[in-house]
Amino acid sequence: MGLLKWFSSPRPTVHKLPSGSFTVDRHGKVMTGTVAADCPAAVLDDIAKEVLSVFREARAAQMPLAEVSLDFAGIKISARDMQGGAIIFLLPKNPLATAEAKT
Amino acid sequence: MEAKHKILVLDDDADWLDMCRDFLAQLPSQPEIRTAATGVRALSMLDATQFRILICDLKMPRMDGLQVLSIVRRRFPELRTVVLTGLQDDQFRSRAYALGVDLFWLKSDMQQDSKLFLDCIESLLGRGDAGGFRDAQAKNLLDVIQMECLAGNSSVLRINSGPQIGKIWFHHGELIDAAAEGADGDAAFRRILKWKSGTFESLPAEPERARTMTKSLESLLSESEEIGEKDTAPGSIEELAHQKYVEQLAAIAVAGAEFVVSAPAKKELAAKSWGTKNTEQVASWTRHVQKSAQRLGEMLSAGPLTHVSGHNVERHLLLLPQSDKTYVVGWPAEAMPGHLFEQSKNLTKSWDS
């Protein structure tokens, strides 16, 4: 039995990079989305918070942006300003790429 | 059939450009009039087509007229330049003349004395055909000086080399005076001989000019040669920095970009910019984006940030993170977004080297 327990020890959790799109209001509240349910809501909240702050700071710097894209090695996060809110697209570069979500 | 001369008018006011186009159409030689609303656009047009005269406003957003003139003076030394501005400050007048402009007119004067303005422009259009050294740029400066001496001429040779202007006075083929960079006489002559490039223009003689130089051309040249061998030091740090700044502005214009901002990661270090006055605001936003991207990258384990792009109706922005700074490159709205990452990388590749 001990041997079986050894084989069934928990594997490290592997998460896919989130993929899909979602909309947020001006307060960062997620409204609708197509991101898989296994992506923790807190991750989407954090993405929304950072993206909205990029738009907000751009307005403060006198150069309001209609769209912004953050291009990482593993994922592209694109966002379009929607009257203070945003529609955010999560586009993993390689859909099979994995990442451990630190929530 | 002889091709018409071309005049480029640069001003950020579209109505003024329309007015200028109609107004300059009255010139007797009927030159072709083209217009540009930004310095970058003007420089790309100058690259593509040979113009005779550039008429340039001074107060413009992003790249102002003085910046454009600095680039023009180096890249198109044969181009005649006219400043046409609403700025009445004498400081701008002297700075423009220091950059070697041919004429400085206030817009109000131009409207009040339109005939004189047209006469001046017509004269500039025709002056190249009337002789002088403007068209003899392929010749070495020394050749021109020797020609003046051998021909026994009495004249004043005006030499423009970038922002520097020098003059050499001849009287019956003898060098009698020179002035450049605040020096006069022999010292000024030696300084002028060190200039690597420029444009020459022969002005009417000034017989009343006091004589400060008594040595022959040959002895001055041999002295210059001796001094030149000893003094091979390059220009001052400020001169080199200015030259590099102008070259970088030119590189931005050639690439078709609008501006570059270099925002150091450390907030206490000053950001640098080329082609925009909005430096600190852009730098502050850039640092914010970097921090947001860092948090997102760590949270998602998304790997390093390669770049950030953004756009609005006026322009595209591209942020290129480096180890200790981020470059922000502004592109016009009509630029092709798909190529901007590579173009921005190419533009900033050797920016700080």
Alpha carbon B22 to its chain centroid, in Å, reads 27
List residues of chain A with CB under 8 Å from any CB of chain B.
Answer: 17-18, 43, 46-47, 50-51, 53-54, 57-58, 60-75, 77, 99-103
CATH architecture label of A17-97: 2-Layer Sandwich (3.30)
pLDDT in tens, A38-53: 888 999 999 999 999 9
Torsion of CA B220, B223, B225, B226, to 10 degrees: 180
For A39, B16, B60, B254, the CA distances from B37, given in Å and listed in that order, are 49, 10, 9, 16
Residue the block writes with tokens 């072709």:
B32
3-state SS, residue B308: strand
Q: Whole-model pTM?
A: 0.55
B148 conformational bin, left if phi > 0, alpha if psi -120 to 50, beta if neither: alpha
- What CA–CA distance (Å, rounded) separates A16 from A98? 4
Please tell me which of B30-34, B223-227, B248-252 the model is most confident about, judged by mean pLDDT. Answer: B30-34
Q: How many other C-beta atoms are found inside a 10 Å radius of the C-beta of residue A103?
A: 12
Indicate the range of A23-27, B127-131, B168-172, B324-328 predicted with least confidence: B127-131
pLDDT at residue B197 is higher than 50: yes
Query: Nearest-CA neighbor of A61 among B345, B92, B288, B331?
Result: B288
Mean pLDDT across the stretch B73-85? 84
Q: Which two tokens stand for residue B113?
A: 């004395």
- What CA–CA distance (Å, rounded) separates B106 from B92? 11
pLDDT in tens, B266-313: 888 888 888 777 888 899 999 999 999 999 999 888 888 999 999 998
- List Cβ neighbours of B344 (8 Å cut-off, separation of 6 or more): B257, B307, B318, B320, B327, B329, B331
What are the residue boundaries of the structural domains of chain A, listed by start? 17-97
B118 close to B126: Cβ distance less than 8 angstroms: no
| DSSP-assigned states of every residue in B225-250 | HHHHHH------HHHHHHHHHHHHHH
**Residue A66 to residue B311, Cβ atoms within 8 A:** yes
What are the backbone dihedrals phi and psi of residue B230, each rounded to the nearest 5 degrees, phi first?
-75, -40
Mean pLDDT across the stretch B41-66? 86
Domains of chain B: 6-130 (3.40.50.2300), 141-230 (no CATH), 257-348 (3.30.450.30)
What are the backbone dihedrals phi and psi of residue B299, each rounded to the nearest 5 degrees, phi first?
-65, -40
β pairing state of B155-161 and B315-321: unpaired
Give the residues across from B36 on adjacent strands.
Answer: B10
| Gyration radius from chain B CA atoms | 24
Task: Select the residue from B296, B306, B315, B319 to test the A interface by mutation, using most A Cβ atoms within 10 A.
Answer: B296
- What CA–CA distance (Å, rounded) separates A88 from A44? 10
Nearest CA in chain A to B297: A72
The answer, for B295 touching chain A at a CB cutoff of 8 Å, is yes
- What CA–CA distance (Å, rounded) separates B120 from B102? 10
pLDDT at site B317:
94
Residue the block writes with tokens 């061998």:
B229
pLDDT under 50: residue ranges of chain A: 98-103
- What CA–CA distance (Å, rounded) separates B285 from A60? 8
Residue B134 binned pLDDT confidence (cut-offs 50, 70, 90)? very low
Q: Which residues of A are less than 8 Å from B301 in CB distance?
A: 74, 99-102
pLDDT at site B204:
77
Q: Which two tokens stand for residue B214?
A: 């008594």
Residue B235 binned pLDDT confidence (cut-offs 50, 70, 90)? low
**B284, B289, B300 member nearest A75 (Cβ):** B300
Q: Residue B3 has what DSSP assignment?
A: P
For A70, B71, B230, B243, the CA distances from B237, given in Å and listed in that order, are 38, 19, 19, 10
Q: Which two tokens stand for residue B34?
A: 């083209």
Q: Which residues of B are less than 8 Å from A94 in CB distance?
A: none
pLDDT at residue B71 is higher than 80: yes
pLDDT at residue B135 is higher than 80: no
Query: Nearest-CA neighbor of A90 among A34, A49, A25?
Result: A34
